[in-house]
Structure 1
């Protein structure tokens, strides 16, 4: 092996044996270069092994036979007597500069450069950011609530809206696994039937029904409720899970109601009224409403309870969740003494289909955030399952839960007078008639 040197370095090695030469050429094709710490020539030069052809070198590179000699604080044993100013670095034969190697894709990023301090700072900063993000992700995972109750649900009938995907699907699967008779109230029957088959297969519970329900259509809500009243003797748990969020462009339902509000608030409001008599006959019964902590980012304008074209569609999702909270609190107050309890919850930020309407390219960072930091749908369903099954909350009414424990609301959400006014206006927008059940 030929060892190159500059004026400060001298090679004092002995003669190599033939086996050593053969092994050297078989293992790798390298030459040694010393980079002076000082000197007039800023461009490091490679000293090549003339016995190695460029074609042979490229063949070795292609087969990934490329090795490096690490830095040593002590002189390299192959460079006996070498000056401390010399740094031995293995390089490829027959290439005249590091720039030539970089063109081939070899980046000597581990070599200290004139930007050494900057590089170390950037590396440290990157590591700190990565560690912080991982810590946040770990914290969110370990603090997420989990329903540990093993309550069985045999003989119980549960209605779950939006049970064909997301946390609704996970809720249906869990309750079916506990033996409940589950009615999946869904808009997309094809998807719902596929999920039904999946749940039956996983839980070995065939008591799963699929019924058509589009909460954005008052006609669909009334048809669904009429079918339930006609066919079901009791409803033990009603779970208002379905929800939708539009991104920017709002839509109007067939009833002239802003679609997000129609689906998330007025539909559940109407459905609860139409089923309330069956729920009371089934007492003790439970109503569980999936709200959201995002209510804190909004306020409900009493003069625009049907905000068609008034606000960005994404903002109306927050408004609808605030309306859910006013509805749940007022409903709980009106049902006191009936043994029908009402509780509502924040499931957490969930990696679910609710974000599918975020447009490109905003969906790209949103996808990274949801996959990295949001709860899974199974984790997001835990508080819903807890409120539907746990004996701990059998007599709890009108409370807000998060991660399977009671949480606090802001002062605006506790405004009972505003909640009453929203109720009265909702009766009109949902077009409830004197012949409909009263709450």
Structure 2
């Protein structure tokens, strides 16, 4: 084995995302995504040495249930749960196994079979991991809404008050997501909405959020097969897409000490993870042409533009108005339609982002293809908290 610890995305797979109750069970979706990833890579499951499986709403060892249907090869199967960053955490661990030399062919899988309605805690008889977050959110946001809406709506409201961002800015982001999703057959929502239609939709929080600005609960699965340089060469696998840099971070005291809703929902994590990745790769925001970022709410997409350095702090409204976040602009954000239109099955989201960017770097994204792509950036955020930023490079 050489000393080259480069990691390549040899294969990706994904099933169409659907509304709760409209699709197959989680194990069936997961097996289909894995089968697609193996076929895409051109190898058999028996070559996989480890599997890292992410999900939030399933019992322990659901990863084994999903993969035993693919093959019972006796490999280590690690079950991963890191809230909305679960899928990218599985990806992070899979890459870490390769860069450390522990394995040469590793599967990252994410799936979710969600219920309709707002997400919530599953155990109400013990201390919530969100206890400190909820306490500060209650102090800063005086509105009776489900947890996620209060957090991200509150962060959006803070951005509005600080920088003059308007509801129309968020509506433009949501309308852009629908235009992108219209070209994605794997997206759950493919109907194009105009800015005016987004603004005219039912209000969730007057002056702050309409219903389409929040991503829907979704079911789905996605997978990625990561391999070392040596493994790819020995087996004749594609080395077109390389993970050039990756960082995973969690909260620092500023999340609470700043008493700022944007910091509470992970703005500091986004900035730090992006900085680490840019430093590792010697690449900056100006080198990017495509980004898949965590738009669980239109508000978080706006905040994340600034956190990733796509525009300076406070400049997101101009970035949107100039069309720099879409085709014909500087960097296409969420060509898949993002969480807002493609859907957000929590455990699958990070791997679905990997799927999308891999195809753009290969030049196989069809009508969604972003031209001139040399690098693609992925941002996946989970409250509580975790943030994973991954930079892909075309070799």
TM-score category (smaller protein): under 0.3
- Which structure has the larger Rg? 1
**Normalising by the residue count of structure 2, what TM-score does the alignment of the two structures yield?**
0.28
- Greater RCO (Cα-Cα under 8 Å, separation 6 or more): 2
Which structure carries more strand by proportion?
2
